[in-house]
Chains A and B, each alone.
Chain A
Amino acid sequence: MRITEHPILRYQKGPKVKFIYDGQEVEGYEGEPIAAALHAAGIKTLSHSHIENRPRGFFCAIGTCSSCLMTVDGVPNVRICVEKLKAGMCVETQQGKGVLR
């Protein structure tokens, strides 16, 4: 899913890093939004609606729609479309509204 050639743009990426998504090792570039790394890895379901438990994915990319809330390093409700990826991060699908520890 990564764009390797583009007629106008050159992408400046940070170093390639590994992080954990629901127990599984995934690669991304440091500094890009976590959602970009997950999308590039083909992971589309990010959260679930509270009542019907319907899958929810990426939607607005600017941190306003709440469709991408996940638990990151134990902190629930992180907007992963604007949260930058760091090496070794632990990104988990959140159950319900999340619990503050």
Chain B
Amino acid sequence: MINTQIAIIGGGPAGLRAALAAAQTGAKVLLLDNSDHLGGQLIKQTHMFFGSQQQFAGSRGIDIATRLATELRQFENVQIMLETTVLGIYEDGVLLAEQDDKVRKIKAERIIVAIGASERMLAFPNNDLPGVYGAGAAQTLMNVHGVRPGHRVLMVGAGNIGLIVTYQMLQAGVQVVGIVEAAPTIGGYLVHAAKVRRAGVPIYTSHTVKEAYGDGAVEGAIIWQLDEKWAPIPGTEQDLAIDVICLAVGLSPLSDLLWQAGCQMTYVPQLGGSVAVRNSLLCTTNQQIYIAGDVAGVEEASSAMVEGQVAGLGAALSLGLGGEQAHAMLADARGQLAALRSGPVGEKIRAGLSLVEKGVTADA
């Protein structure tokens, strides 16, 4: 049995910042991640981030990951376990994890779940053919492993992920024949859209995939137009010769560990799926378990980092650690979150959060 005060599951931007915040209060911290690196999704983000200076705007995601991980490694009260998959969280606060084909038990006083989200699938005939990939997966293949996903790609989804991965494909020398987007407008930032358009990639709004075809692997796709009620318009079909279909149709929080731990869960479309009910310090209905990042609601790395700080400080304070300084840092972090979610861009998130944020603690 490994004993710790605060165990953090997931070493993406949320988990890294949670670990840093908790470590600064002097807590004994254990950070677990199932991959062989720290940084989560950040390690494949080669583009410059938006946001404010406090969330490293202007830096590339990969560089942010390196900076946070280097900073964390300075702390003697932090232990990092990589290639360790958390399998379950039990009533007595014991985590079961697998490392090197062995099961390890971890006893923690507080647990912060920061495991991120998974990519969504889209229903169309032959969507199971080899050659239909998640956009994040294609990005991992290219940016982390240096392998092209294919020769000619159809991107599905014109949100930020679809636009950014399209641009990164062009950088990797892969041809993108077009981006289809079911909505009548582009969901992502217009700067990203302008970049791919300038590179000659058409964006078909109000369009979707009718079907994929191919013998053993994707050889083409038929797309068609949607009317204002999102119903396909027969006769508008276009046949595209491609060998990859990339799905960038959103992410869903990875909720399995939280369901299993018995946290109260709610389905909130604005946050991407099933998420845990939490208070303003990101503590779930299980007083031992906190959440942060995409698992708490699909958003961005910037807000994931600040949520990590809130959860890390909240967990430390609940153990009587951190004192005045932690309270001040917490107030600052909460202010940053409010700023990130202000204005029209934050409307959807605010609506989603109003459905799951229950119980305001004394610190709020």
Decide: B128 and A3 in contact? CB cutoff 8 A: no
Shortest 8 CB-CB distances between A and B: which pairs? A57-B130, A61-B137, A11-B146, A36-B145, A44-B130, A61-B140, A40-B147, A3-B146
Is A51 an interface position by the 8 A CB rule? Answer: no
Which residues of A lie under 8 Å from residue B146 when comparing CB positions?
A: 2-3, 6, 9, 11, 13, 36
Q: Report B146 CB to chain A, min CB distance, Å.
A: 4
Which residues of B lie under 8 Å from residue A60 when comparing CB positions?
A: 118-119, 134, 136-137
Is B290 an interface position by the 8 A CB rule? Answer: no
Q: Assess A57 versus B119: contact at CB under 8 Å? Given A1-B148, A7-B171.
A: no
- Minimum CB distance partner of B140 in chain A: A61
Decide: B217 and A55 in contact? CB cutoff 8 A: yes
Is A33 an interface position by the 8 A CB rule? Answer: yes
Decide: A8 and B145 in contact? CB cutoff 8 A: no
Q: Assess A39 versus B147: contact at CB under 8 Å? Given A9-B46, A45-B130, A58-B141.
A: yes
- Minimum CB distance partner of A46 in chain B: B130
Complex Cα distance A39/B142, Å? 11
Is A100 an interface position by the 8 A CB rule? Answer: no
Decide: B136 and A61 in contact? CB cutoff 8 A: yes
Q: Report A47 CB to chain B, min CB distance, Å.
A: 9
Is A30 an interface position by the 8 A CB rule? Answer: no
Which residues of A lie under 8 Å from residue B148 when comparing CB positions?
A: 1-3
Q: Within residues 137 to 153 of chain B, which ones have a CB less than 8 A from any CB in chain A?
A: 137, 140-143, 145-150
Q: Assess A6 versus B145: contact at CB under 8 Å? Given A45-B130, A55-B129, A61-B137.
A: no
Decide: B217 and A61 in contact? CB cutoff 8 A: no
Decide: A54 and B171 in contact? CB cutoff 8 A: no
Q: Report A93 CB to chain B, min CB distance, Å.
A: 12
Which residues of B lie under 8 Å from residue A9 when comparing CB positions?
A: 46, 143, 146
Is B132 an interface position by the 8 A CB rule? Answer: yes
Q: Within residues 36 to 90 of chain A, which ones have a CB less than 8 A from any CB in chain B?
A: 36, 39-40, 44-46, 49, 54-65, 81-82
Q: Report A15 CB to chain B, min CB distance, Å.
A: 15
Give the one of A1, A46, A54 with max B CB within 10 A.
Answer: A1
Is A32 an interface position by the 8 A CB rule? Answer: yes
Q: Assess A3 versus B118: contact at CB under 8 Å? Given A55-B130, A63-B34.
A: no
Decide: B35 and A82 in contact? CB cutoff 8 A: yes
The total of interchain contacts (Cβ-Cβ below 8 angstroms) comes to: 88
- Minimum CB distance partner of B116 in chain A: A62
- Minimum CB distance partner of B172 in chain A: A3
Which residues of A lie under 8 Å from residue B149 when comparing CB positions?
A: 39
Is B173 an interface position by the 8 A CB rule? Answer: yes
Decide: A62 and B147 in contact? CB cutoff 8 A: no
Complex Cα distance A65/B118, Å? 9
Task: Encode contact with B along A1-31: 1 for CB under 8 Å, 0 otherwise.
Answer: 1110111110101000000000000000000
Which residues of B lie under 8 Å from residue A58 when comparing CB positions?
A: 130, 133, 137, 141
Which residues of B lie under 8 Å from residue A56 when comparing CB positions?
A: 128, 130
Which residues of B lie under 8 Å from residue A5 when comparing CB positions?
A: 173
Complex Cα distance A56/B35, Å? 23
Is B216 an interface position by the 8 A CB rule? Answer: yes
Complex Cα distance A25/B146, Å? 21
Which residues of A lie under 8 Å from residue B254 when comparing CB positions?
A: 64
Decide: B143 and A57 in contact? CB cutoff 8 A: no
Decide: A3 and B173 in contact? CB cutoff 8 A: yes
Q: Assess A54 versus B128: contact at CB under 8 Å? Given A11-B146, A44-B217, A61-B140.
A: yes
Task: Encode contact with A along B268-311: 1 for CB under 8 Å, 0 otherwise.
Answer: 00000000000000000000000000000000000000000000
Other than the known A33-B145, A62-B137, what 20 A-B pairs have Cβ atoms closer than 8 Å?
A: A2-B146, A2-B147, A5-B173, A6-B171, A9-B46, A9-B146, A32-B145, A36-B146, A44-B217, A46-B130, A55-B129, A55-B217, A58-B130, A59-B132, A59-B134, A60-B118, A61-B136, A62-B136, A62-B140, A64-B254
Q: Assess A59 versus B137: contact at CB under 8 Å? Given A45-B216, A46-B130, A64-B118.
A: yes
